[in-house]
Amino acid sequence: MRWPPPLAPGARVALVAPAGPLRDAGDLERAVANARTFGWEAVPGPNALARQGYFAGTDDARVADLNQALDDPAIDAIWCIRGGYGAMRLLGRVDYDALVRRPRALIGYSDITALHAAVGLSADLITFHGPTARSALTPYSRSFLEQAVRQDMPLCGSAPLARTVLRGRAEGRLAGGNLALLASLVGTPYAPDLDGAILVLEDIDEAVYRLDRMLVQLRLSGALSGVRGIVFGAFTNCPEASDDGSRTLDDLIDELAADLRIPCIAGAPFGHIADQWTLPLGAIAELDAASPALYVHR
């Protein structure tokens, strides 16, 4: 898969909201300010502040902003302002050919997983699972984002707070993102091919029994049969108890690793947390589960 050109100071970065609405104008102001701290020129989409229910405007408005950015030869990257829900509704209308003609960085996470998967398949392009533009960037997150989009190697690295689930080493393409989105893409033309991949997973606000169901869905679909390693990130606010009893997230993770018999770590720094890696999805990486560490290669 191709890397997009590195982003340097002076780059023109489109700020778009392809999913959920911004809370208020302050979200857009923070996104613009974040872009400027990297020396980039921020170009907000015309409908960035639009709202229709739980979307940032209508499907037509959101895909128009995205495609306008993709079709503009003066735009060097697309930085999604927030996640939420709604990107999946646009997948059949995105101008992927624009990214084939001129590769550019796409940055975001959570619901943006849908776009990462579709762009990877349709444009053979590496995209960046990293903070959304409205995020309050910590020095940690900022440094990993800047390192990734500038393509200063090596990326990621040691994860001292992560737990080794199953020892071993694996090399493969980074793939994945938000677990709920990956499960929802099963059976669609945009489901990522995970054969030979190191799978990265994160989520938020999902009860453990629902996470269980999503992982079982991926297993039953055959999507995990060729996965070489798994890196679980943060699963934020995911309650373990239900009316029928409780089961821990670690139970699910241990069970999956034992069933697949592949290297696995849990608690790596990405997902809905303040300090997070930026992961170049589609790039070749090596998982050392014993360390634990994840190294991205160019």
Instruction: Say whether the peptide bond before residue 9 is cis (omega within 30 degrees of 0).
Output: no
Choosing from 116, 135, 141, 272, the catalytic residue is 272
Choosing from 135, 141, 202, 206, the catalytic residue is 202
Choosing from 29, 110, 116, 246, the catalytic residue is 110
**202 included as an active-site residue:** yes
Q: Which backbone phi and psi does 104 adopt, to 5 degrees?
A: -145, 160
**110 included as an active-site residue:** yes
CA dist., res. 7 & res. 274, Å (int): 23
Structural contact between residues 283 and 173, judged by C-beta atoms closer than 8 angstroms:
yes
Q: In the chain, what are the helix, strand and coil shares in percent, each to the nearest 5?
A: 35, 25, 40
CA dist., res. 210 & res. 22, Å (int): 27
Q: How far is CA 12 from CA 7, 145, 201, 251, in A?
A: 9, 16, 30, 45
Determine how β-strand 105-108 pairs with β-strand 127-129. Answer: parallel
- Catalytic residue numbers read 110, 202, 272
